[in-house]
Homo-oligomer: A and B are copies of this chain.
């Protein structure tokens, strides 16, 4: 299996993703939120770029039970129902609901993947499920969402863990970037707290009071679901 990694959302180019199986990663926190919310019974996520689009979409979807969800500068958006803390997406709040979702980084990447064959959502939380899924799939591109249009180590180390795990299951052909991430990951023996000690975005979240979110998102394999994007909606397919 060929594996490539795109370092951050602005580096997505149609030729890199065309007809390939894409895994979008935004560990802190959009991917993690999607996994948990869908595991807790949310019907779907609809990623949108702007707050205005979110409100517009809510009007279009009259009849569905919708929640407005997302963040700007790490904080919940004024007038929205939920922010970007995975622990806020309890069954009580999200079951059966359609979540209109806009974040600074993760949803930007999702809107640039029209040429992909399939689009999945990856995080530490659902890593084993993702690896199992790709035992039967080929030709994968891991898209690290990044932070503020730049590379973010949390996403990259999640991509590296995927590579490390899938290599135990099948033969892979690694790009230069995949090799580099894997070497970095193995330098600290995959110890996420050590690897991400100086990660900019992780430390920003901690400073902004989201230390619990960070700890939550760095847990491995607490969910078995693999969210997939279909017709503009991210849904649970397993």
| Interface flag for A188 (CB, 8 Å) | yes
Summarize A's interface: helix, strand, loop or mixed: helix
Interface 1/0 per residue, A188-218 and B, CB below 8 Å: 1000000100111100000000000000000
How many residues of chain A get a CB closer than 8 Å to chain B's CBs?
Answer: 27
Partner of A7, one of B7, B13, B187, B201: B7
Q: Which residues of B contact A11 (CB under 8 A)?
A: 7, 10-11
Q: Which residues of B contact A150 (CB under 8 A)?
A: 175-177
Interface 1/0 per residue, A152-180 and B, CB below 8 Å: 11001000000000000000001111011
Q: Which residues of B contact A200 (CB under 8 A)?
A: 175-176
- Check A151/B174 contact, CB under 8 A, given A11-B11, A183-B187, A184-B187: no
| Interface flag for A233 (CB, 8 Å) | no
Q: List 20 A-B contacts (CB under 8 A).
A: A7-B7, A7-B151, A10-B11, A10-B13, A11-B11, A147-B176, A150-B176, A151-B175, A151-B180, A153-B177, A153-B179, A156-B176, A156-B180, A176-B201, A179-B199, A180-B180, A180-B184, A183-B183, A183-B184, A183-B187
